[in-house]
Structure 1
Amino acid sequence: MQQTTTAMAGRTPRPRLVTSIANTAEELREVQRLRYRVFIEDMGLTALERADGLDCDEFDEHCDHLLVRDASSLQVVGTYRVLPPAGARRLGRVYSENEFDLGRLNALRSRMVEAGRACIHPDYRGGSVIMLLWAALADYMRRQGCDYLVGCASISLADGGHNAVAVYRQLRETRLAPPEYRVTPHLPFPHEKIAPALDASVPALLKGYMRSGAWVCGDPAWDPDFDSADLFVLMPLANLDVRYARHYGVGELAIAA
C-alpha cells in the first residue's frame, strides 16, 4: 500500500507525502519517536518521560503502523496504530479495554479494527496528513475484511474539564450509539459534577470521526496519565457518509458491506 499527494498553496509547494505501513524495526522506532514527541514532550508529561525517547507498549508488536513520510526529508510526519482481529486475539484484548468494558461488542470482534495513537508532527497539521492517514486506514480495513472501526478519542482536561463536559453533552444528544453498542468506563470521568464550557470545542480527530458516521458509545473515561477524558467511538463502515467515503477512498462495496 502506498499513496502520495502533492499540494499547492498559492505559489508555495507543499511537501510530497507518501503513506505506507512500517515494515522494519527502524520504521517502528521512527513512529515511536514521533509519538513520544507529540504525546509526551509537547504535552509536558514529565512523569512519562523515557531515556530512549520512544512511546511504546506491549501492543506495538501486535499492531500495524500506518505512517506518512515527507518524501523530501524522509521524515515520518504522521502515524496511526491499527490492531487487526488477529492481533487482538493474540493479546486477548484491545487497547481500549484498559479503559472500558467492551462486553457488548463481543460479537463484532472478528470484524473489528482498533485504531489509536494517531498523531501528526506540529509542522504538518494543515490537513493533508490526516486525509492520507484516513485513506490508508480505509484501505487497510478493506484488505482485512473488517467493517467496524473502534478506538478512543481524547479530550484535554487542561481547562479543568469544562470543554470535555460540553463536548460530551453535545455528542450524547446527536451521536450516541444504539444501546446494544454501549460500553462502560472502568474509571468514569465525573462529567455530571463539572460545569460545561459555553461553547464546545471538539478536537479535530473526534470531529473527523463524527463527520464520518461514528458513534460515541457511552460515558467518558478518565485517563489520569494523559490528563484527558476519553470517549469510546465505533464507526460501522455502513454508516460512512458517501461524500466522506469518496474523500477517504472507500468504495461503494465497502459502504454496503
Structure 2
Amino acid sequence: MNQAAQLQHQPQASNLVAYITQDSTEIQQAFKLRHQVFTSEFNTQLNAQTHGIDRDKFDDACHHLIVKESNSQRIVAYSRIITCDIAKKHHGFYTAGEFDLTNVIDHKKRYMEIGRTCVSDDHRSGSAIALLWGQIGQFMINNNIDCLIGCASIPFANGSRQTLAVIDYLRTKHFTTENLRVSPKHPLPHLQSNIDGKSLVPPLLKAYLRMGCKVCGEAHWDKEFNVADVVVLLTKDNINMRYMKHFLRAA
C-alpha cells in the first residue's frame, strides 16, 4: 500500500501514519531514532564513530517500516523487516548472529524477521505499537509468510536481577516446546527469585506475547547494547486474531 493510501486509511483522530518507506531522508531519520532509543533505553554508548546513527550491514537490503507523525513529519517508531528471500541473497537473518536457529527454521516455510524495533519514549501508550503490528500483520498476509521471528531485548538498565526475573517469568509461561528452541551464543545464568518478572516485561515484548509469539528458549547477552535478547516466534496458525484484527484496523 502506498503512502497516500495509508494516509486515507488512518482514523481522522490519529496523527500517526505507518508504511514501508524507501525514502532516504526518512530512513536516515529512522537510523537516528534507533540510536537515540538504544543509547538511552539500554543505557549504553554505541560506537562514537556512528555520529548519532545506528546502522549495520543488514540495513542495505531490507524493508524499513516507519510510524510518523503526519503533522510534524517526525518518525516515532520503526521496525526492520528481512524476508527469507532477502536473507538468502544477502547476509542471512540478524538473529542467526546471536543464536543457533537450526531447530526453528523449516526451509519448507516462508519466514520474515523483524528487528531493530524501537518506539520514541513519548509514543509508548499503544498507538504507535499498534500501527507497527498492523503493518507487520498486513505484510505477513500480503507476502504469504508462515512464520515471524525476531530478537526482543530486555535491558539491564534497572539491574541484572530484574532482567533475569523477566527471563524466569518467560521460561515458566511463554517458552516454546523443546523441539523449537534456539541456542544462545552467550547464554545468561538461570535465576529464580521473588521478583515479579511479569510486571517488568518491556512494552514491545509484551505486545509480541499478546499477538501470540512464543519465546524460543534462553537469552543471549548482547554485549554491544548490554541487553538480554530472546528470540520470538509467531506462526500464522498461532496469531491471536482478536489482537491482529485490532492492529489491522489501526494499519
> What is the letter of the counterpart of residue 86 of structure 2?
G
Partner secondary structure for residue 20 of structure 1: strand
Partner secondary structure for residue 166 of structure 1: helix
Q: Indicate the residue corresponding to 1:4 in structure 2.
A: 10
- Does the 8 Å CA contact 1:40/1:48 hold for their aligned counterparts? no
Q: Indicate whether 1:196 and 2:219 are aligned.
A: no
The percent of aligned pairs where both chains have the same amino acid is: 35
Partner secondary structure for residue 140 of structure 2: helix
Q: Indicate the residue corresponding to 1:150 in structure 2.
A: 149
- Does the 8 Å CA contact 1:77/1:120 hold for their aligned counterparts? yes
Cα deviation, residue 108, structure 1: 4.6
1:187-241 Cα shifts (integer Å, max 9, x gaps): 1112x2x453511111111111111111111111111111111111101121112
Partner secondary structure for residue 65 of structure 2: strand
Cα distance in structure 1, aligned partners of 2:84 and 2:128: 26
Cα distance in structure 2, aligned partners of 1:241 and 1:89: 29
- Does the 8 Å CA contact 1:84/1:144 hold for their aligned counterparts? no
Cα deviation, residue 82, structure 1: 0.7
Cα deviation, residue 23, structure 1: 1.2
TM-score (norm 1): 0.87
- Does the 8 Å CA contact 1:63/1:83 hold for their aligned counterparts? yes
Partner secondary structure for residue 114 of structure 2: strand
CA gap of 1:186–1:126, structure 2 versus 1, over 3 A, is same
Q: Relative CO higher for 1 or 2, CA cutoff 8 Å, sep ≥ 6?
A: 2
Q: Indicate the residue corresponding to 1:223 in structure 2.
A: 222
Runs of 5+ consecutive residues of structure 2 not aligned to the other structure:
none
Q: Indicate the residue corresponding to 1:122 in structure 2.
A: 121
Cα deviation, residue 125, structure 1: 2.0
Q: Indicate whether 1:81 and 2:76 are aligned.
A: no
Partner secondary structure for residue 106 of structure 2: helix
Provide the alpha-carbon RMSD of the alignment: 1.9
Q: Indicate the residue corresponding to 1:179 in structure 2.
A: 178
Q: Indicate the residue corresponding to 1:12 in structure 2.
A: none
Q: Indicate the residue corresponding to 1:253 in structure 2.
A: none
Cα deviation, residue 40, structure 1: 2.3
CA gap of 1:30–1:5, structure 2 versus 1, over 3 A, is farther
Cα deviation, residue 158, structure 1: 2.6
